[in-house]
Amino acid sequence: MSHVFHRHCHHLPPTIASGNGMYLIDTQGNEYLDACGGAAVSCLGHNHPSVLEAIHRQLDAIPYAHTGFFTSAPSEALAEKLAELAPSSINHAYLVSGGSEAMETALKLARQYWVEVGEPQRQHFIARRQSYHGNTLGALSVGGNAWRRAPFAPLLMDTSLIAPCYAYRDQGPDETAYEYGQRVANELEAMLLEKGPDTVIGFVAEPVVGATAGALTAEAGYFSRIRAICDQYNILLILDEVMCGTGRTGRFFAFEHEGIVPDIVAIAKGLAAGYQPIGATLVTDRLYEAIASGSGFFQHGHTFMAHPTACAAALATLTTLEQEGLVDAAEKQGEALKTALHHQFDSHPFVGNIRGRGLFVALELVADKTSKRPFSSDLALHQTIKYTAMHNGLMCYPMGGTIDGKQGHHILLAPPYIIESTHIAAITDKLALTLEMCLLSQ
Ligand code: PMP
């Protein structure tokens, strides 16, 4: 019996023993080709020497000191590096321990900003259906994943949810992709007018939707319309790049593809490539100055924030991304991966849509390609696919369909940026075999 409280109480996963580059190896000696970086985390692959060395160096110097007493060289250097990578109006990073913490920070920072500038009546967030921003109660409140929210619904903040930009499912026959993007962006304006713009703190969205809708990019023009609406009605734009940020889409920030700058952006998973737990909430000077020159104190914090060892790992990760040209590699290899997936699955009877940006791509599965009818959400198809893929030596990230039948099961791929063409070929082969084994009986 395991004394670890595993999330899936009746499934004990294999025990990990070691890792090397694109592969993880369990204690039975089974090798798994990592096509999803865990959950889009391991952007450098496993056991990269430069990150390990930076961690060891920091452990030898000082592993931890509480931020109530000290700052540290790695946290100062990391925040400086992030400010350098960010647009010129973003110069401060609040360093935490993961994605949910980064999003909680974003929400509280946004709220405190309005309190500082004398608008405490702003108490409401607008976000999108089919989104995920973390499992803590605040982050869960602005998430649109109905299944994750359901048991906790009575405990959550009242958030208004609008449609995501989901052309494969929603674009009308008589509108162009651009017109569709504008139409769904305008749902934000409609919701603002319904709620009263001066009661709203901000709008929360993932630039590329990750776990809940599978590498869902917005149509061109969608996010610039969203930014324009936020500016017109004076609300904050809070972007969640916990999954899609830190180079995964082929730019360091996914919002760079959209030609916009958010007021707040959260990053996490790839920030230290999984070598240490860390997240960051980056904020524009306008917001930072309002707090710094107002109360002078952000009323939020965590014991392990700006953890020196985690910051050292993150700094080494960013340096490695730069030195090895890995963000450009993510763009190039992402195209190669998508091309290979199209080649392998375009004519597959159950693959309805292949989408994504950079090394953040997904297949949406459908029971019927013409009508786009999803498999029943009662089917634990995503679990079957995950375990079958592991049996075939592949790690991928399948998710279930929505209970309202508006979205199918999907398989997310988010491999390390060190991926090479031989790995891409092995991923498509193993995935094809896995789908054959799982879907033959459907
Ligand atoms: N936001 C997004 C977009 C995510 O994908 C996730 C994790 N899947 C989170 C927030 C929460 O991050 P964490 O699991 O590190 O708390």
pLDDT digits (tens, 9 = 90+) for 42-100: 999 999 999 999 999 999 999 999 999 999 999 999 999 999 999 999 999 999 999 99
Tell me the per-residue pLDDT of 275-284, one tens digit each, with 9 for 90 and over.
Answer: 999 999 999 9
Provide mean pLDDT across the span 215-240.
Answer: 98
Q: Percentage of the chain surpassing pLDDT 70?
A: 99
Question: Residue 403: pLDDT band by 50, 70, 90 thresholds?
Answer: low
Position 241 pLDDT exceeds 70? yes
**Cα 389 to ligand 1 centre (Å):** 23
Residues 318, 389 within the same domain: no
Mean pLDDT of all residues in the chain? 96
This model's pTM is above 0.95: yes
Residues 222, 95 within the same domain: yes
Residues 411, 307 within the same domain: no
**Cα 134 to ligand 1 centre (Å):** 5
| DSSP β-bridge partners for residue 264 | 238, 283
**Cα 202 to ligand 1 centre (Å):** 19
List alpha helices for 73-176, DSSP H: 73-85, 99-116, 137-141, 146-149, 167-170
The residue whose CA has the least distance to atom 14 of ligand 1 is: 99
**Cα 293 to ligand 1 centre (Å):** 31
Query: Which of 274, 299, 323 is at the close of a domain?
Result: 323
How far is residue 384's CA from residue 441's CA, in Å, rounded to a whole number?
A: 12
How far is residue 107's CA from residue 281's CA, in Å, rounded to a whole number?
A: 10
Determine the pLDDT at residue 249.
98
Mutate to test the pocket of ligand 1, among 36, 97, 100 (most ligand atoms within 8 A of CB): 100
Determine the pLDDT at residue 442.
61
- Report how many domains make up the chain: 2
Question: Residue 377: pLDDT band by 50, 70, 90 thresholds?
Answer: confident
Query: Which of 305, 323, 341 is at the close of a domain?
Result: 323
- Tokens at 307, concatenated: 């953890």
How far is residue 104's CA from residue 106's CA, in Å, rounded to a whole number?
A: 5
CB 382 within 8 A of CB 435: no
Q: Percentage of the chain surpassing pLDDT 90?
A: 93
Residues 277, 185 within the same domain: yes
Binding-site residues, ligand 1, Cβ < 6 A: 39, 98-100, 103, 132-134, 206, 210-211, 240, 242-243, 268
Provide mean pLDDT across the span 204-224.
Answer: 96
How far is residue 184's CA from residue 188's CA, in Å, rounded to a whole number?
A: 8
Determine the pLDDT at residue 57.
98
Q: What is the ipTM of this complex?
A: 0.99
- Which structural domain, as residue segments, surrounds residue 43? 16-47+325-439
Instruction: Establish if 416 belongs to a structural domain.
Output: yes
Query: Which of 323, 338, 368 is at the close of a domain?
Result: 323
Residues 238, 341 within the same domain: no
The residue whose CA has the least distance to atom 1 of ligand 1 is: 133
Q: What is the CATH number of the domain that holds 395?
A: 3.90.1150.10
Residues 153, 299 within the same domain: yes
Q: Give the range among 61-75, 237-251, 286-300, 365-379 with minimum mean pLDDT.
A: 365-379
Mutate to test the pocket of ligand 1, among 133, 253, 264, 267 (most ligand atoms within 8 A of CB): 133
Q: Do the strands 208-209 and 216-217 form a parallel or antiparallel pair, or are they unpaired?
A: antiparallel
